[in-house]
Amino acid sequence: MRILTFMLIAISGLSLSSPATAQQEPPYWASIDEPEARMRTGPSTEYPTMWIYKREKLPVKVLARYKSWRKVEDHEGTQGWMHARLLSAARTGLVLATSGKPVAMRASASSKAKIAWLAEPGVVGSLTQCEKNWCLFDVTGRQGYISMTDVWGDEPLK
């Protein structure tokens, strides 16, 4: 009986160690979790590399799964395959260049709130507390609220 209990605990512990991105059903948001990540034309290292991303925490949209591979889309609409170990479930966002100017990060979730700081297009940060068209955006500890229209990686999926 003790052996059976131990085996059940060990097996359940193994399932907890798998990446969070492996458990979700597409579509969902993920982010690149390595300093270098290859996007391939198909779900295997046998397929050629399309792009090499050198931007850790860059948000991607996961569209499909095949074994340990994920079909992803970047902010420019480019689609390809990345190995699941290159991805994290951490929600991140990319400041868009809709106006070509820096985007205001507000002190609270309102267009009338004080500007806390400005973020250049292309800046990547963590996204939390997304509701009512605003998300809390954090770049290495510097926080502010960003309008959902100014960031890629925040829209509801499914």
pLDDT in tens, the chain (158 residues): 445 444 444 444 444 434 544 468 999 999 999 999 999 999 999 999 999 999 999 999 999 999 999 999 999 999 999 999 999 999 999 999 888 899 999 999 999 999 999 999 999 999 999 988 999 999 999 999 999 999 999 887 76
Question: How much is the pLDDT for 158?
Answer: 63
Give yes or no for a contact between 97 and 76, defined as CB atoms under 8 angstroms apart.
Answer: no
Number of residues written out for the chain: 158
The full set of domains in the chain, from first to last, is 20-90 (2.30.30.40), 93-152 (2.30.30.40)
Tokens representing 104 are: 């205001």
Rounded Cα distance between 66 and 81, Å, is 9
Question: How much is the pLDDT for 155?
Answer: 82
For residue 28, the one-letter residue type is: Y
Question: How much is the pLDDT for 152?
Answer: 95
Q: Global pTM?
A: 0.82
